[in-house]
Each structure stands twice: as C-alpha cells, then as structure tokens.
Chain A
Amino acid sequence: MLRVENISHSFKTGNEWTKVLHGIDFTVNQGEMVALLGSSGSGKSTLLNLMAGLMKPLEGHIYIAGQDIVQLGENKLAEFRRKHIGFIFQAYELITSLTVCENVELPLVFQSVSPKHRRLKAMELLEQVGLKGKEDMFPSQLSGGQQQRVSIARSLITEPSVIFADEPTGNLDSKTEEEILAILLQLNKTLKTTFIVVTHEHEVADRMQRIFSLRDGYLITGDLRDADPVPEEAEP
C-alpha cells in the first residue's frame, strides 16, 4: 500500500546542510494503522510531509497505491492527493467561513462532484463521527474535539488510500483524546482505511497495530513497545 524506499533528506541552514532523515525504509499494508513515533526533531514531521507529497526528498522513493509520488509534478501531485490522501491535522485546519458540512465537502468540491452527492456523503460521515445535527454550524461554534471529528470526516470523504494524521490528539484533553482515538480505530476497523498517525505520545502509539520510531533521523526497527519513553514535549 505504502512503501518508503531509502528516503534521505537534508535542510540547508545558511551554508550548512543538515541531514534530517537517513535512508528510511518501511512498508505499510492496506488497512493497517501504524504510528510514527518520535520526539521533537526526530524527523517524523518531515517524513510525514514527504509521504504526503508536500515536500520532495533529496533521495529515495515513496510509493502510494503503486505510484511513485516523488516523480509527480505539482499539479499531478495535487490531483493524486485529492484522490488518494487524507489529512488530519493537529490544529484541525478547518476553514472558518464554511459550515461544518461545507468543510467536510471541500475535498469533493475540488473533484467537481455534484453538490447533492457530496452533501449526502458528508452527512453520512458526520453521522459516523457523531456530529449529526451540527452540519450547519460553523467551526467556531464547536469544541476542539468536535472540530477534530469534522477534520476526520473531511479526510475520509474522498475515500483515500491512506490517511495521514499529524498529532491528531495533540490539542485535546485526555478524555477527548480517548474519544478521537476510539473513532479513528473504529473507522480503521470498519472502512479498512490505512492510517499513519504521527505522534510523540507512547500512549497513542501503543493503540496502533505497528509502531515506527524515529530517532535523530534514523528509523529504529524491532518491537518498540518496550523502548525508552519519548519525552513529552510539544512538537514545533
């Protein structure tokens, strides 16, 4: 489903190049829910951005649904993202001027799906994430947990091959975090959608089927559930 092959990446700071990822290799199978665990500066966000096609790696290949996204140009990549990739952001990233339902529908707007069809689909998903009756509200009228549910519904509406969740519970209290994780696990189970959840929290990672841990840009393989706890500090 998703194959990361020998990915290396560096950033230029002044005249200096700083290598942030070193030959990362892993594969995620269809319908798997995996965690990408790492502390601040470990390179997990960079790896997420590379896998989502928001950046291009200096070396290596990323295959999603059989397509090497490293080879795609910007417009092709936009089209690919539209069809195959879903996003859940730490800060929800809803468009405040649109209603809940319109936010969920948005990815389908870019696919020129008819208003009637996309509304029907959005309503169905909102029901699945427990937001029935809130479709005409604006994001500012919702709690953080509810906004994240909208974000989850939005990520699912295009029926993507893979959903990248970047610290999906990072802004939530523990009760709401538990609710959101339950929803994600339930959706993975029912829809068989592949989830890659980036987190620095062991408690979150432990709920996933597999964990890929990053430390200083290196992927640490093996059973990571017994590894040293990652310091709980906010990711920049």
Chain B
Amino acid sequence: MKIRDISRMAWDQVKRRKVVTGLCMTGISIGCAAIIVALSIGQSAQAYVTEEVNRNFKMDEIMVSPGGGIPSPGGGGGQAGQQQENENLNPGKLTDEKLEIIRGFDHVVAASPFQEAGYLQMVTMDNKIGDVQVIVTDLSKLTHFDKTFSKGGGSGVQGTAVLNYSATLGLMDVSVRQNLFDQMNADPFNQELMNQYTSMQTVPSELYRKQIQFQMQDYSVPNGPLKQSSALQVTGILDLPAGYTQERATYEMKVIYISPETAAQLSKEMAFENGSAINLPEEGSYNTVTVKVDDVDNIKWVEQMIQKLQLTTSDNLYQQEMLKEQFDMIKMAALGIGVFILVIASISIIVAMTMSTHQRRRQIGIMKVLGANMRQIRNMFITEAALLGLLGGLLGVGFSYLIIMAMNKLIGTAGNGLTFFIPLMTLPVGLAFAIMTGVLSGIYPAISASRTDALTAIKRD
C-alpha cells in the first residue's frame, strides 16, 4: 500500500470524524503549546539574564595581569607567580610589546590598560569634594569597552579626565559635609538627617568642561601637608549604565579615568615621603589590561593565546556556566511539565481513537475481506494518529504564539526589559513531541483495529 494512499485515507478520516479530530487536536495542542511556551519562557529568561549579567559582569572581556614562571618551549600556561626584580628575567611582565601582540590576536576587538592607581579625594573649583577611584587608561578607547558618553568624550590631551556618572553624584561642600557628619555623629538615629544625607548623595553636579583637582593629606608625619594636584579638565561624563536608577548609581564605584601621561604627572605631584598617592607600575608596563573579544564563544581561545605570553588571565564565563546550569534545570522542568501534559493528552487520544476504531469495525472488516492485511490496517491508523498529532502540534504552535503575546502584554513595562519570545528551534521540538504523542497514542488503537475479526465485523444482526 502506497504512503500516498495511506495518507489520503488517513486525511479523509481526519476530515470526516470532526469530533474525534477536534478532541484529539485540542489535547495535543495544549501539550504542544505547554512545551513550546515552557521552553520559550526558559530561553527568554535566559537571554534576558545573560544580557543583564553580560552588562554587569562583562562576559566578553578578559582581565589580563602579569604572570610568572619560567617560559617553556611552545608556550604554556602563564600562571600568576612571583614577580622578579629584574625585568629582563621576568617573563610574566605585562609590557607594551605584549599589549601590542594581544591587540593583534584574532577576535580581539580592543585591549587597553585599566590600572587601578588608588583612591583620592576629588575637589571641584567650587570646593565640593568626593572620593573617587583613579583608573589609568587610554581615554580615547573607552567607547570600545561599552562605555558611552552622556557628555563630551575622551581626549588625548594631557591633564584631562573622564568621570563616570556616579562620580558626579553626592559631591558636597567641605563645610556642609563636615557639619552633616557632626550632626549625624551626635544623633545617629535621626532619620531625618539620614534621609537628608541620602538625598544629597543622589544630587548630580555639573562637572563637564569644569576643572577638578585631587588632594591628599600626608598622614605619615604628624600634621603632614595637604597636597593638591594641578587642575584637570573634565572632557567627558559617562552615561548612567542601562537599567540603573539615579539611586542605584550612588552605590556604584565613583571612578575618574585619566591617561597614563596624566597619571605620571600626578604621581610626581602627589608624591609623599613614603611613596606617591598615585600608584603606577614601571613605565612601559601595566598591572591590568582589559581585552574585549568579539564573541563570548572566542573568550577561551583568546585566553589561551594570552597565556602563551606568560600572562595571567581571568574572565567571568563561570557566571554564564552557572546560569546555564540553572537554566538547563529550569528548561528540563518545563519540558517535563509539557511532556506530562502530553501524556495526559495522549490518554484522550487513546480513548477517542479506540472509540473511533470500534465505530469503524465494519469498515475495517470490509477492508480485510477485500484483502487488507494487519500491517496495512495498523499503518492506516498510525498514520491517522500521526496526522492528528501534526495538526494538534500546528494548532499548539498557534496557541503558543497567542500565549506569549498575552504574557508580553500582561507584563508590559513592568518586565524591566524582559520580553518573552519563541525561539524557532522550539517549534520543531514542540511539533516532534506532538507527532510522537499522536503515534504512541495511536499504537494501541491501531493494533486493536488490525486484530478486528473480519467476519465478526461484517456480520449483520
């Protein structure tokens, strides 16, 4: 019997037996939609969280620091080790040459030093102060590391600086701040004072194109001098990170970015007896370099290449792996729920098809008398069941789009950027489960139909 004939006969039956078809399709479509929706929710949530984590943990970046150990032929893992005094004997040193080599690797989008040079007090020209972390980097390449400017940009000119948004918040006049601290110390449980302080922390200051200075007291000697740096011109203010509120930004690190040349100048200006307030490595070397890679999938390869330069690398991929494990579990649970619903649906198909088999006993009997064998009868019923599965699956795909649309409408803007979507790969998965359910549910009725005794079936009472 040709597949075409079996399919046509199955299709005729599906069209003809509208109630059975409707019942079976409904059951299967619910199960199929459950699988697609469950997988889609898992996938959407994973994409959302991954994006969030990527934004916060920069999973496409590699942190490179000086390594150690004796170089081995053909490279090898440059793990952190003891720094050696003589730079010629220190193969793990992070030098300009190595930075250039790293920049030349495939998949490397950008590589720049981001050296933490210390924490200093920043003073504005109108005598407002705030504590900031000083990071030495190439200001013209900040945008390569997902940093966007709300005002201005990075300048190559010595004596310029870029502030992150948090660094513009909560700057206070020295006397006002001192006064507030004194009052809070005197009355530590005064909620009003606390609220006032918190509120002042969220107030931004206009620092773009303004000048700032660093200042630091030398505490190594009694009544040590208060040193002030020369003035720096603020040429750019970074954007508030996406998804951040003004309040949340106050808890973020307040950072000022300066160029290596500016840092060298400031290091001299802020030098004390026991060292400078600006800590810098030797000229031509770095203590931290950040490498931006074109795709998270290439992180490991680039890391291996960097390690061959006897440098130490670290990344945030473990965050993704942790997430993947968690989401795999969620997806498996979701799949389990969908399969459970399909199993329940399959009972309705078995019942409906067994009923249908009973109603069609006479027809089966005639076919057997006319020469249909057991296999042909069985194949007809299984094809019919598979067809029901396919139709139920297609209906389920339609349902799942409606459900996802309704869910997106329901969460609206409250989702904070979370949008549910149906990944195309879930559709064949849902359809395959639907057809499989149809076929598995059709096996018993098909066997039962094929065993129909032709004589009994055509006998008339």
Contact = CB atoms under 8 A, between A and B. Distances in A.
Interface stretch (A32-40, A89-97, A123-131, A223-231): A89-97
B454 A95 contact: no
A97 B16 contact: yes
Given A54-B454, A97-B13, A110 B372 contact: yes
Q: Which 9 A-B pairs have the closest CB atoms?
A: A82-B371, A78-B373, A54-B455, A107-B370, A110-B371, A75-B373, A81-B371, A93-B366, A110-B372
A110 B458 contact: no
Interface string B1-22: 1101100010011001000000
B303 to A, nearest CB: 62
A79 interface: yes
Nearest to A118: B5
B71 to A, nearest CB: 74
B144 interface: no
A79 B371 contact: yes
Interface string A85-120: 001010101010110000000110111100100000
A89 B9 CA distance: 23
A74 interface: yes
B344 interface: no
Contacts of A115: 4-5
Interface of A: 49, 52, 54-55, 74-75, 78-79, 81-83, 87, 89, 91, 93, 95, 97-98, 106-107, 109-112, 115, 154, 158, 236
Contacts of A54: 369, 454-455
Given A91-B460, A97-B12, A112-B1, A74 B374 contact: yes
B116 to A, nearest CB: 79
Q: Max chain A CB contacts within 10 Å: which of B367, B370, B461? A: B370
B368 interface: yes
A78 B370 CA distance: 8
A84 to B, nearest CB: 9
Given A93-B362, A110-B371, 8 more contacts: A79-B371, A79-B373, A81-B369, A87-B369, A106-B367, A109-B5, A110-B372, A111-B371
B370 A154 contact: yes
A91 B366 CA distance: 11
B376 interface: yes
Contacts of A236: 461
A74 to B, nearest CB: 7
Contacts of B454: 54
A110 B376 contact: yes
16 contacts: A54-B455, A75-B373, A75-B375, A78-B368, A81-B370, A82-B372, A83-B371, A89-B458, A93-B366, A95-B366, A95-B367, A107-B371, A109-B1, A110-B376, A111-B371, A115-B4
Interface string B447-459: 0000000110010
Contact of A106 (B13, B370, B375, B461): B370
A41 to B, nearest CB: 15
Q: Max chain B CB contacts within 10 Å: which of A83, A98, A109, A112? A: A109
Contacts of A91: 460
Q: Max chain B CB contacts within 10 Å: which of A52, A55, A110, A236? A: A110
